Amino acid sequence: MAVLVEANSIIVRVEAIHDRFKGGFTAFADDVPNSTLCSDGEIARVGFMNPNDGSDYIDRLVGFGLIFKRGEKCEDIGVALQGDGLALPCDWLDYGTIEIATGQTVCAVWLKGSAGRQVFCPERWSYERSLSRQYLITSPDHVGKALSFLRRDNGVDVYRDALTGQEVFIGRPRF
């Protein structure tokens, strides 16, 4: 089995959640700061559009007792980047692309040794409205120079791109 990877995905071993996160998986799920949680029963994934939000979430998980790294390798928490793969060495994860339907391919991670390739996605996720279908990476320089902040709507920052005149949306967590 596997979980979806879109944008910046924080991957957590479910076994570690049960062992070290006070309240277990239910408390973990209740603490997720957005609607991107998905799990295949072996690993859980929470996604962030802004890498700084992902880093803040890792700090939060460490505060709950999970271990991010031992030395240079991921222990309980891994980081997967859409289109780029694993951001840090992680002995327990594999990354790749999986076709979920004809012409619909997504990035995913799975626990090493897992045989199935069914991809678990967030509850209200659909390919048609997903970052897997249409994904744009915006550098921090571009955000600062070409994007003008307009407003925040229900946890989404809205910018105007000076080059195209279009609105750009960046989902933000609720920590």
Clarify whether residues 160 and 95 are in a common domain: no
Clarify whether residues 119 and 155 are in a common domain: no
Clarify whether residues 34 and 108 are in a common domain: yes
Residues linked to residue 65 through DSSP beta bridges, in sequence order: none
Using one digit for the tens of pLDDT, what is the confidence trace for 34-76?
Answer: 999 999 999 999 999 888 899 999 999 999 999 999 998 999 9
The DSSP annotation for 44-94 comes to EEEEESSHHHHHHHHHHHHHTT---EETTEESSEEEEETTTEESS--TTEE
Give the domain range for residue 83.
2-123
Q: What does the alpha-carbon distance between residue 153 and residue 159 come to, in Å, rounded to a whole number?
A: 11
Q: How confident is the model at residue 146 (pLDDT cuts 50, 70, 90)?
A: confident
- Does pLDDT of 135 surpass 90? no
